[in-house]
Chain A
Amino acid sequence: MSSNKGGKGIARGKKGQSKPRADEKQEDVLKAVIIADTFQDRFMPFAVEKPRCLLPLANTPLIDYTLEFLSMNYVQEVYIYAAAHADQVKRHVETHPRWGIASKVCPFDKIEFIPVADATSMGDFLRDLDKRTRMETDFLMVHGDLVANIDLKKPLATHRARREENRNAMMTMVLRDAGVQNHHTKTQGITPVFTINPENDRCLAYNEMSPLDEDRYILTETDHLMLPVVDLRADLIDTGIDICTPEVLAMWSESFDYQLPRKNFLHGVLKDYELNEKMVFTEIIEKGYAARATNLQLYDAMTQDVLGRWTSPFVPDFNLMPGQTYKRKLDNVSLADGVKVTPSTHLSRSVVGSNSKFGAGTKVSNSIIGKDCTIGSNVTIKDSFIWDSVTVQNGTTVDHSIIADGAQVGKNCVIPVASLISFGVQICDGIQLAKETFVSTVGPDGISLPTDTSLVGPQGCGGKYVDEEEDDRDPAQLQKSLIYSTAHLNISAESISTFNSHPDSDSDSEPETPSPHHHRTPSQQATSGFHVDAVNGILDTLRASNSTGGDFDAARIEFTSLRLSSNASDTDVQRSIAVAFAKRAAELHLGQDPSSATPLEPAKAAERTVSVNGATKFLREAGVGGDANEKQVAFILALQQAVAGLREFGTAKAGTLLAGLLQQMYSNDVLDEDGIDAWWSNPQSQDGESMTAVRERVRVLVEWLQQAEEESEEGESEEEEE
């Protein structure tokens, strides 16, 4: 645009035929979608009656911040999606002096409401938007609870440049760096973790962490760790501002079950990159303010940010909305017109809406008071949010709580920390609420609550608001109160290490080979992967050692690392080894071995299998893993199952093979008589038809063994007698 500023564009020259905004890179008109419904219940009990985007933040409804932000960035067309309370949102916008239909001064060319009656998630909105084909070019997607003062010119330009370069650059997310320190404007309870390639700002993966998670670690794809640099960032504020191409909507339509834009959509799209080849980028801003009031804690924090002027120009005394008349006085107090205070009223770091009155001796600090409120004498209000037309009578104390429109609090009450008093509640004189009490006149289902006189007093109005379902493991639970706390939760303080260390009894002398992929998938998947890999690995070694003399030591290291990396259990290990040996024996018996094509007798095949260089040691240490009878039994059972499972064999042949293998293992000191004996008497060995049939074939061996045992025992006793 700087290239355009010659003399001729200036209005003084009458011949300047200026096209409106001809200077902006004309990508048609810039459109934006506001998602004004979140399908969450973090603002209960208020959100039962009023949608989140209409709740006042520092006396201005949240959606007004969002709209003003869009107008600051020269957005021309706005589409608003709302489901619950859509009528309220619509009425608010349409009657607003700035955005309304009647307003001649609306900065947008068009504001359109799209009601989706049966929507149950954000996904439904976006799939609906896709059907409407309103978005032919890049557009902005924001949420109705966004407060931001950033300039999107640069993110938009980089997004467009990227898209020019690569059609698959589908989306750019705007994120705010919030540093590594504790920061009140970061979401608590659920931490978004972005895996980002800092070289091209591409987002590679998205995960969410919560203190309630069982696994406190993030799975990283191996590919990502192969990159020279990769950032895993949990220090970002997700502003929810997405610069989208129309493909994003198509993607939503394709994945009909996605509901949430981050947890489902983003996570899914990034995970399936190989499938869809769509790329998502990040724009991490380091200057300016952008945050979403996604829960009460953030609502609190963002109000503090407004008071601290981080959100400038969104500060009360700039009076951005028509009709606002705030003036900043001493002690960071912004007062609107018509506020009445007495000389002994003490206000500090607060915002007071028009026509509110304060009595003598009242102290208000760090709070927001709406318009038309009546606050009596000697009232103390600290860190609180009093919305419009609230009455608080003499001598009452309000500490870090929210009192919604039209509520009345009697004399000498105590409203302690984190109380939420919803619309129209009346509390009688002298009531002391307990901490974190939610009082409402309407229940979670929208039906009015019966008045609980023990809670609000005889002439009161309102009952205790209790959530329908309480799932302790849901991290959303942590975000429902005004104060973030995990103290009441029973969070086990066990290892939060990223690596799953297994208490390993069979202490391999090998050092734990750190594999480059510390990844872990849900255990079922992991072990089945392990099984296949392990069996193939051992089989390869067995085949190789047969012909070349073998390298079982190297195979063992590989096996151990495989096992550690996939966190396989002892049973998994035994199963894999058993299957591998059974398969090998069967291969030799059937003459399928590439090295020697001649079929071998079962006994010979078993011998060739077990007597391989190093194999016995491997079996002893890795397969059985000790001398204990239970381990031997478990291993033999695994072997029995493996043999019985060989499809090419009848049970008779399989039994013979098992007998051969056991004999070989016995003679090579892998197993001993006690172990085989114990197996023989173990009921699991006769579990099922094929198992019993296979077992029968081993009877001879067992009997022979028992005899031998008796003989040796006799021999021993004889020796003792001597």
Chain B
Amino acid sequence: MAPFQAGNTPQLDIFIRGLKSHPLEASTETLVSLLKRRQISGSRPCAIAAVHILRQVVAKAPYRDVDGLIAKIQQTGQRLVHAQPHELAVGNIVRRVLGLIREEMQEDRTEFGGDSVSDLQTLCPEKEKETKEHVVGLPVLSRAPTLGGWSHQSAPFSIMNLLSPDQGSGAGSPMGRSGTSTPMLHGQNLSINNLKSEVLDGIDEITDELEQVDDQIAGYADIQIHPTDYILVHELDSTTERFLLRASRERRFTVFIAQGKSTTSKAGDATPSLFQKKLNSAGVKTINISNTGLAAYMTKVDKVILSVRGVTADGGAVAESGATAIAQAARAFGKPVVVLMGMYKLSPESTPDPRSLVEWGEPESFVNFSKGNMVNTVEVEVPLTEFVAPGLVDTYISNIGVHTQDHLPSLIVDHYNEQDSDFVLTIPA
């Protein structure tokens, strides 16, 4: 687990370390603040933080049944997404966890139906604890007409029940049934602790996935990068770096690094970054080019690799600003554009208004605040990200394979539960 932790920001480390000792609510609020203040930023740090806090919700939050758990996760998830609406990864992680819970629930139900005796036996020691929940659960069995007669304790539960069947039956999908199917409720109650540990295991798997994703994507480097290729990259992130370094083990190629930001750190540009040194020592030539002179190099380029913050369901990419110009130039010259994305970056959402995904930064990276004439009179707008339209990307490389735009919907179905696609809008009980 060491490799990705090394790249964590101090704030993320402090946050993760503090999780144990702080109450859940305080941790959640801390994370919300950190996200709002952009002290944790970047899609993977955000995703890691989200996984950790959701794990805490599963482990610590009080809930009586699966629906309660789902509601808790939705609640926390909404707060996280509102805190940083520009990082699609946060919402994706929340959906993954929700999907995980639903999946476990479904498995439980089938298990329960098949092997109820053994299930009951294993639960025997916990029977006393569960009795109370049985009592609550019992009226549910005789459910239908007596809404008013329900105890106040089950009130939130009832609202979920009212909503879920509508969604399920409306969609007519097989997943709809997994929401809350009444006959199995006593089973859920019995197996809630079982489910909890299952879900925690599942969440740990997501954490593992987040750790390994760069390595897995890098596994495709050899296929994508050929000897003597000219590769154009833009705004390196850890995934792209790993990808190129892996390729450099066996291939000799040249990398153009497009400098998107004409930042104030001019001096920094002159000295090659640590990464460039690593590439150079691996025998890969690197050439820095400025964004303005980019089109001139495009004829030479064999492949454009974009690192992205997120990919929408229709294939559009949220990338660092400047990416659209590169993608369009590549399209004009007929060069393939490859997007590297961990699965956590693929969102089931298709954004109707791509502009809302643009994150605006502070002008300080272009103009120093001490330049009074500029500050007084000039409005400096700094988009940090921009939306690369779906048609401009040719290939998507994720940790599970190489895909085209047409594959994305099936990937989404594999990873997310349809019910959760718009959890941000649903009002949990």
Contact = CB atoms under 8 A, between A and B. Distances in A.
Interface of A: 1-2, 5, 7, 9-12, 16, 18-23, 68, 71-72, 104-105, 107, 176-186, 235, 286-289, 305, 308-313, 315, 317-320, 327-328, 330, 332, 349
Contact of A23 (B14, B28, B29, B83): B14
B37 A313 contact: yes
B17 A10 contact: yes
B313 interface: no
The 6 A-B residue pairs whose C-beta atoms are closest, nearest first, are A183-B372, A105-B29, A179-B370, A181-B372, A312-B362, A313-B37
B209 to A, nearest CB: 13
Contact of A72 (B25, B37, B364, B368): B37
Contact of B370 (A184, A286, A318, A319): A286
Contacts of A312: 38, 361-362, 364
A107 B28 CA distance: 11
A311 B363 CA distance: 9
Given A10-B16, A107-B30, A107-B33, A184 B375 contact: yes
Interface in B40-57: 52
A5 B26 contact: no
A18 B375 contact: no
Given A178-B369, A312-B362, A7 B22 contact: no
A229 to B, nearest CB: 20
Interface of B: 1-2, 5-6, 8, 10, 13-14, 16-23, 25-26, 28-30, 33, 36-39, 52, 82-83, 204, 207, 355-356, 360-364, 368-373, 375-376, 379-382
Contact of A310 (B37, B38, B356, B362): B362
Nearest to B30: A107
B379 A332 contact: yes
A183 B363 contact: no
6 contacts: A7-B1, A10-B16, A23-B10, A104-B26, A178-B372, A179-B372
Contacts of A182: 372-373, 376
B361 A313 contact: no
A328 B85 CA distance: 11
B375 A308 contact: yes
Nearest to B85: A327
A313 B32 CA distance: 13
A711 B388 CA distance: 114
Contacts of A287: 364, 369
Contacts of A183: 370, 372, 375-376
A11 B360 contact: no
A308 B33 contact: no
A216 B368 CA distance: 30
A180 B372 CA distance: 8
A22 B17 CA distance: 9
A184 B25 contact: no
Q: Which of B1, B82, B83, B369 has the most CB of A within 10 A?
A: B369
A327 B8 CA distance: 29
A309 B372 contact: no
B425 to A, nearest CB: 13
A346 to B, nearest CB: 17
Contacts of B381: 332
Contacts of B26: 104-105
Contact of B20 (A2, A11, A319): A11
B14 A21 contact: yes
B15 to A, nearest CB: 9
Nearest to B18: A20
A68 B363 CA distance: 21
Nearest to A325: B82
Contacts of A289: 364, 369
Nearest to A311: B362
Contact of A12 (B1, B28, B364, B382): B1
Contacts of A10: 1, 5, 13, 16-17
Given A11-B52, A23-B17, A182-B373, A72 B30 contact: no
Contacts of A288: 364
A328 B360 contact: yes
A7 B372 contact: no
Contacts, number: 132
Contacts of B28: 105
Given A104-B26, A105-B29, A179-B370, A18 B10 contact: no
Given A10-B5, A318-B38, A320-B37, A330 B355 contact: yes
B79 to A, nearest CB: 10
Contact of A18 (B18, B355, B372, B376): B18
Given A1-B10, A1-B14, A72-B39, 8 more contacts: A2-B10, A12-B204, A23-B14, A104-B25, A107-B30, A182-B372, A320-B37, A328-B360
B18 A309 contact: no
B377 to A, nearest CB: 9
Q: Which of A21, A180, A318 has the most CB of B within 10 A?
A: A318
A704 B45 CA distance: 107
Contacts of A184: 372, 375-376
Contact of B363 (A7, A23, A176, A309): A309
Contacts of B16: 10-11
Q: Which of A177, A179, A319 has the most CB of B within 10 A?
A: A179
B6 A5 contact: yes
B420 to A, nearest CB: 23
Contacts of A105: 25-26, 28-29
Contacts of A317: 360
A2 to B, nearest CB: 7
Contacts of B36: 313, 318-320
Nearest to A186: B372
Contacts of A320: 33, 36-37
Contacts of A310: 362-364, 369, 375
A528 B8 CA distance: 67
A219 to B, nearest CB: 27
A288 B360 CA distance: 16
Contacts of B360: 309, 315, 317, 328
A21 B33 CA distance: 17
Contacts of B52: 11
A14 B133 CA distance: 29
Given A183-B375, A308-B379, A310-B369, A327 B21 contact: no
A319 B21 contact: no
Nearest to A309: B362
A18 B20 contact: yes
Contacts of A349: 379
Contacts of B370: 177-179, 183, 235, 286
Nearest to A327: B356
Given A20-B18, A107-B30, A313 B375 contact: no
B5 A7 contact: yes
A64 B364 CA distance: 23
A484 B82 CA distance: 40
B286 to A, nearest CB: 27
Contacts of B8: 5
B202 to A, nearest CB: 14
B361 A309 contact: yes
B13 A5 contact: yes
Nearest to B26: A105
B208 to A, nearest CB: 9
B372 A12 contact: no
A64 to B, nearest CB: 13
A330 to B, nearest CB: 7
Contacts of B13: 1, 5, 9-10, 23
A718 to B, nearest CB: 82
Contacts of B17: 9-11, 16, 18, 22-23
Nearest to B13: A5
A330 B353 CA distance: 12
A74 B364 CA distance: 24
A105 to B, nearest CB: 3
B21 A18 contact: yes
Nearest to B1: A7
A107 B29 contact: yes
